[in-house]
Structure 1
Amino acid sequence: MTNQIIECVPNFSEGVDREIISRITDEIALVDGVKLLNVDPGKDANRTVVTFAGEPAAVIEAAFSAIKMAGELIDMQTQKGTHPRMGATDVCPLIPVSNITLDETGEYALQLARKVGQELQIPVYLYEHSQTNAKRNNLAAIRAGEYEGFFKKIKLPAWQPDFGPAEMDAKRGATVIGARDFLIAYNINLNTSSVTVANEIAQQVRETGKIIIGENGKERIPGALKYVKAIGWYMEEYKKAQVSMNLTNIAVTPIHQVFDEVQAKADALGVKVTGSELIGMIPLKAMKDAGQYFLQKQGITYITSEEKLIAAAIEAMGLNELAPFNPRQRIIEYLI
């Protein structure tokens, strides 16, 4: 039987101290049966997105060791950053890659969540496919109030953790674990420092849209893109605002559609998109489809070379604007 492969993409609430980041990722690299694929720290977000993959049992072992080390090294009492967060290991998703179903991956997520809650005594919340309660399967809903608000939130009957103590850990915070489909974390850069403008674009494109006050009271106006979560923020490191997004179903809403939609909304508000930034990794098909799409917009329909399609996607979406984009290091199939 061909080996089962799952991917794990933990987000740690440290994006500045390279020694801390290395000590956490070293825990992953030491485990036989897993491959550390990508480490993507963000200074202003003060967050590092780590990607690794391997056979399920090894992935669970590596994830547990990394969560344990992050709890020892990161102090949430002093941690600050632009990205919403609630714990040293803020979220730890497991994603099916090869010869394994989402349901089977969910069993491993439960195993990890139970182990973290019982052995490390960290409050753990299940999310996405692993959470049966529809009112608390969305990461944004779970994390609302963030670290500072969780000391009260965790005491509410509706927000008791799924595993671990019903007491907020002052140093380590709380952690969210679950199985989900592949997600792309993607930021689009604007030629403005205005968070207001970036937030307005985010509200116009994200699936949940925005709430307005009308004649009949509060009314939600849906956004343009299904399976897209978005916020606007300012990145001091880059001196510009970004529309920061999670694309949770790229089969329905591919990355090239997201780029075009944000660009259209920005143009309507009198600002320009200057490029974009991929956080973590992306499937090969998503890059090839984007390249095909942007070449067809230019009237070019005869390109079939994988390398040229990827180059076209990088150029059209400005993925090289903030840092060099190396497909061999960012496309998941090239590394697994």
Structure 2
Amino acid sequence: IDLRRHEGAHPRTGAADVVPVVPIRPQQEPAAREAALALGARIATELELPVFFYGRLTDDGREPRFFRRGGSAGLQARMDAGELVPDRGPTTLHPSAGGVLVGVRRPLIAFNVNLRTTDVEVAQEIARLVRESEGGYPGVRALGLRLPSAGMVQVSMNVTDWEAAALYEIVQRIAAEAEARGVEVAGSELVGLMPAGAAVEAAGSILKIAGFDPSRVLELRLLDDP
């Protein structure tokens, strides 16, 4: 990706944008922090890109959205004003690659729901209803975005605590709100990986299995056996 020619709807700080190191178990966090710090140093030294730390690598737990505000131009302006200083690397964004966010965080689910309409206000209204900051589901961050090439709009989400907010329930809410506005759900997208527990929970909800948990899934049961 060359930022000088690239166009896209999602907020970003650079071509790679965000590189999380994710401990699967709590006891793995010290190793994850060590790996993330080493990775940030290598990116800054070998690729000569500015690196900003986020999440559990910072004292205040700042998140990627803190850096993405205003896009690449806004990030550079904040750097020029002395508001932001990279944790590693140069103080100027690379012209084609931008900057990189490196952090440590818990597993999250990046999940998008596409709506069969070109009216972005529909997606924005629904995003406001489901995101935590406006009284929606805990740990859910959501934006309403245009998808011009597809002729649709999207509710783009990060579910940062899937145990507190069931993905299936969130998607059902989005579908219901879309239907109330005369809009169909065109499909959904999983970006990257999701925890097995979230998939199992969704399957249990769809099939309406009482007391369903990961230990009832054959492969997961075998993996858990000593």
Shorter-chain TM-score: what band? Answer: 0.7 to 0.9
Residues 200 and 75 of structure 1: CA distance in aligned 2, closer, same or farther (over 3 Å):
same
Aligned-pair distance for 1:102? Answer: 2.1
Q: Is the 8 A contact 2:40 2:102 kept in 1?
A: yes
**Distance of 1:223 and 1:275 partners within structure 2:** 25
SS in 2 for 1:230: strand
Residue among 168, 193, 206 paired with 2:93: 168
Aligned-pair distance for 1:82? Answer: 1.6
Q: Report sequence identity in percent.
A: 34
Aligned-pair distance for 1:237? Answer: 4.4
Aligned-pair distance for 1:289? Answer: 0.8
TM-score between the two structures when normalised by the length of structure 2: 0.85
- 2:207 is aligned with 1:282: no
**Distance of 1:171 and 1:276 partners within structure 2:** 30
**Distance of 1:147 and 1:130 partners within structure 2:** 22
What's the CA shift string for 1:195-237, capped at 9, x where partnerless?
11101111111112xxxxxxxxxxxxx2311111111123244
Aligned-pair distance for 1:160? Answer: 1.0
SS in 1 for 2:80: coil
- 2:188 is aligned with 1:263: no
Aligned-pair distance for 1:98? Answer: 5.7
Residue among 129, 144, 160 paired with 1:232: 144
- 2:64 is aligned with 1:139: yes
Residues 161 and 99 of structure 1: CA distance in aligned 2, closer, same or farther (over 3 Å):
closer
**Distance of 1:146 and 1:163 partners within structure 2:** 20
Residues 133 and 303 of structure 1: CA distance in aligned 2, closer, same or farther (over 3 Å):
closer
Partner of 2:110: 185
Q: Is the 8 A contact 1:154 1:168 kept in 2?
A: no
Partner of 1:295: 207
Q: Is the 8 A contact 1:86 1:146 kept in 2?
A: yes
Relative contact order, higher structure (CA 8 A, sep 6+): 2
- 2:77 is aligned with 1:152: yes
SS in 1 for 2:18: strand
What's the CA shift string for 1:90-115, capped at 9, x where partnerless?
11001113685223311211111122
Q: Is the 8 A contact 2:114 2:186 kept in 1?
A: yes
- 2:28 is aligned with 1:116: no
Q: Is the 8 A contact 1:295 1:301 kept in 2?
A: no
Partner of 1:4: none
SS in 1 for 2:154: strand
Aligned-pair distance for 1:269? Answer: 3.1
SS in 1 for 2:83: helix
Moved more, 111-120 or 137-146: 111-120
SS in 1 for 2:76: helix
Amino acid at match of 2:160: T
Moved more, 272-281 or 76-85: 272-281
**Distance of 1:242 and 1:99 partners within structure 2:** 33
Aligned-pair distance for 1:145? Answer: 1.3
Greater strand content? 1
- 2:14 is aligned with 1:84: no
Q: Is the 8 A contact 2:115 2:186 kept in 1?
A: yes
Structure 2 segments unaligned to the other structure (5+ residues): none
**Distance of 1:228 and 1:255 partners within structure 2:** 10
Residue among 15, 20, 28 paired with 1:93: 20
Residues 83 and 302 of structure 1: CA distance in aligned 2, closer, same or farther (over 3 Å):
closer
**Distance of 2:194 and 2:182 partners within structure 1:** 30
Partner of 1:198: 123
**Distance of 1:234 and 1:149 partners within structure 2:** 21
Residue among 51, 54, 65 paired with 1:127: 54
**Distance of 2:47 and 2:82 partners within structure 1:** 22
Q: Is the 8 A contact 1:102 1:181 kept in 2?
A: no
What's the CA shift string for 1:176-204, capped at 9, x where partnerless?
00011111110112232211110111111
CA RMSD of aligned residues (A): 2.4
